[in-house]
Structure 1
Amino acid sequence: MEIFLTILVTLILIGLIIGLYFVLKHELRKYRDEKLLVSDEVVPLSTLTNLVDRMIKRNTKKAKPFTLMLIDLDQYQDIVDAFNEEEERLIMQYVSNHIKTALPEESVISQGVKPDQFYIFIPDSFDHSNILNLAKHIKRESQRKVSILDGVEIKKTVSIGIATFPLHGNTKDLLFQALDIAMYIVKKNGGNGIKYYSEELSQGKEYLDLYHEIREAIEKEEFIYFYQPIVSTSDTKDIYGVEALLRWQHPKRGLLAPQSFIGLAEQSGELDAIGIWGVEQALLLLTDLSQLYHMHNLVVNINVSPRQILNEETFTIFQRLILKHRAKPEMVAIEIPDFSTYKNNETFMRNLIKIKTLGFQIAIDLSTTDYDVLDLVERFKIDMIKLNRDFFKLEENYNKRKYIQMLIDFVKAKELKLVAEGVETEAQLQELYTKGVGYAQGYFIAKPLDQTQLSAFLTQK
Structure 2
Amino acid sequence: AYFVGSQPVNLTFQLGIIDVSLPDSAENALYRGYLAMQEAIRKGSNQAVFFDDLLEEQIQRDRDLEDALPSALENNEFSLHYQPKVDANGQCCGAEALLRWHHGDQGLISPAIFIPLAERSGFMPKLGAWVINEACAFLGRLREQNNHLPGRLSVNVSPWQLREETLPSTLQSALQATAIPAPQIEIELTESALVDSLVTARKQLQAIRELGVSIAVDDFGTGYSSLAYLQDLPLDVLKIDKQFVDNLDSTRGQQLVEGIINIGTVLDMTVVAEGIEDRTQLSALCALGCQYFQGYLFSKPLPEEAFGEWLRKNLQTPLTTS
Question: Which TM-score applies when normalising by structure 2?
Answer: 0.83
- Out of 107, 111, 117, the position equivalent to 1:254 is 107
2:163–2:197 contact (8 Å) kept in structure 1? no
**Structure exhibiting the larger radius of gyration computed from Cα positions:** 1
Aligned to 2:55: 201
- Out of 257, 281, 293, the position equivalent to 1:428 is 281
**Please, which runs of 5 or more residues in structure 1 have no aligned partner?**
1-144
- The alpha carbon displacement at 1:317 in A equals 2.4
Aligned to 1:67: none
Q: Distance in 2 between matches of 1:281 and 1:207?
A: 26
1:168–1:175 contact (8 Å) kept in structure 2? no
- The alpha carbon displacement at 1:323 in A equals 2.0
Letter in 2 for 1:193: Q
Q: Distance in 2 between matches of 1:147 and 1:395?
A: 44
**Please, which runs of 5 or more residues in structure 2 have no aligned partner?**
315-322
Is 1:308 the counterpart of 2:161 in the alignment? yes
- Out of 85, 89, 94, the position equivalent to 1:230 is 85
Aligned to 1:216: 71
1:418–1:438 contact (8 Å) kept in structure 2? yes
Aligned to 2:7: 151
- Out of 280, 284, 290, the position equivalent to 1:437 is 290
Aligned to 1:110: none
- The alpha carbon displacement at 1:292 in A equals 1.0
- The alpha carbon displacement at 1:313 in A equals 2.2
Is 1:264 the counterpart of 2:117 in the alignment? yes
2:195–2:229 contact (8 Å) kept in structure 1? no
- Out of 296, 314, 318, the position equivalent to 2:171 is 318
2:147–2:308 contact (8 Å) kept in structure 1? no
Larger RCO (CA under 8 A, 6+ residues apart): 2
Give CA-to-partner distance per residue, 1:299-334, whole Å, 9 cap, x none: 211110123112222222222222222221211110
1:188/1:168 Cα in 2 relative to 1: closer, same or farther (>3 Å)? farther
1:344/1:315 Cα in 2 relative to 1: closer, same or farther (>3 Å)? closer
2:85–2:292 contact (8 Å) kept in structure 1? yes
Q: How does 1:1-400 map to 2 (within 5 A)?
A: 145=1, 147=3, 150-154=6-10, 156=12, 158-163=13-18, 167=22, 169-170=24-25, 172=27, 174-175=28-29, 177-179=31-33, 181-183=35-37, 192-204=46-58, 205-232=60-87, 234-236=88-90, 238-295=91-148, 297-339=150-192, 342=195, 345-365=198-218, 366-368=220-222, 372-373=226-227, 375-392=228-245, 393=247
Aligned to 1:124: none
1:368–1:391 contact (8 Å) kept in structure 2? no
Letter in 2 for 1:254: G
1:226/1:369 Cα in 2 relative to 1: closer, same or farther (>3 Å)? closer
- The alpha carbon displacement at 1:171 in A equals 6.3
1:197/1:266 Cα in 2 relative to 1: closer, same or farther (>3 Å)? same
Q: Distance in 1 between matches of 2:146 and 2:2?
A: 57
Question: Which TM-score applies when normalising by structure 1?
Answer: 0.60
1:181–1:208 contact (8 Å) kept in structure 2? no
- The alpha carbon displacement at 1:277 in A equals 1.1
Percent identical residues: 26
Aligned to 2:317: none
Letter in 2 for 1:457: W
1:394/1:434 Cα in 2 relative to 1: closer, same or farther (>3 Å)? closer
Q: Distance in 2 between matches of 1:294 and 1:370?
A: 40
